[in-house]
Amino acid sequence: MRSRKKSGSSVLRIFGIIGFPVKHTLSPHFQNAAFAYLGLDAEYIPFETAPRELKAAFGKFKALGVRGINVTIPHKQAVLKLLDSVSPEAKGIGAVNTVVFKAGKTRGFNTDGEGFMRSLKSDLKFNPKGKAVFLFGCGGAAQAIAFVLAREGARSIAFTDQMEERAKKLSSKTGKDFPKCRVKYTPFIGERIHEEVLGSDLLVNTTPVGMHKGDPCIVNPKALHRKLAVYDIVYNPPVTPLSKEAKRRGLKVANGLGMLLYQGVLSFELFTGKRAPVEVMRRALKKAVKCLR
């Protein structure tokens, strides 16, 4: 890896990520690796920011000349009201994960959805156009994922969540935004979920189930039919009970490391205007994940 070039006359450009908590974030590992590789005088820093501190934090970022930030839980929706403008995709998703500071103005973007789509197509080799999707979990990540799946022409998306109203709300919003995509709310009942997965081409888990020892497979393994592709956004551990069962049956499986990578790649390019060194970032991210185990 190239060492970062330092220039006595250049000004260190600051980027970062805000969240609460945010100490666990892996983003600095691969963003700083990219800055170093390209010889940029830049640094990416985590800024732990409680919800009550969000507005004040933006004032400080502007005063300090911060060039861009990523936004994670719990600020992705709350940050919208603090921005001067947002991209059409961020507006459609209803959440922002990337903010660029330029000429005294702030513009919000969402790279989560496109990051997922790049990973889906490159890591899982799956094109959702004309396909039936079952989305397990309807929280923040699911909002971005549902948006891009419908935008890319998924034939249908079935939604389920332990929080019934959350699933119904996301299902309704997706149907209104993309009327050509058939949407369906599936009650959080084992038999109904089983039936829906059997009729799907792609199963996406957007919940944290699988992160902890003793977590179950999110669906009855018998529903994992041979034509099903599985994308589990959990990446630590790299193999969850769901992905283990899917692999046992010879299914195509991918975890969320690719989504994390590509959303960061897109953010890097928005921050710097330069093409991201994807493989450098991938190696740094994989190394950081190994250190967590």
Torsion of CA 56, 59, 61, 67, to 10 degrees: 140
Rounded CA gap, 188 and 42, in Å? 46
Q: Which of 23, 76, 168, 247 is catalytic?
A: 76
Active-site residue 76, yes or no?
yes
As given in the structure block, the two tokens for residue 200 are 């799907």
Rounded CA gap, 218 and 136, in Å? 8
**Residues with catalytic roles:** 76
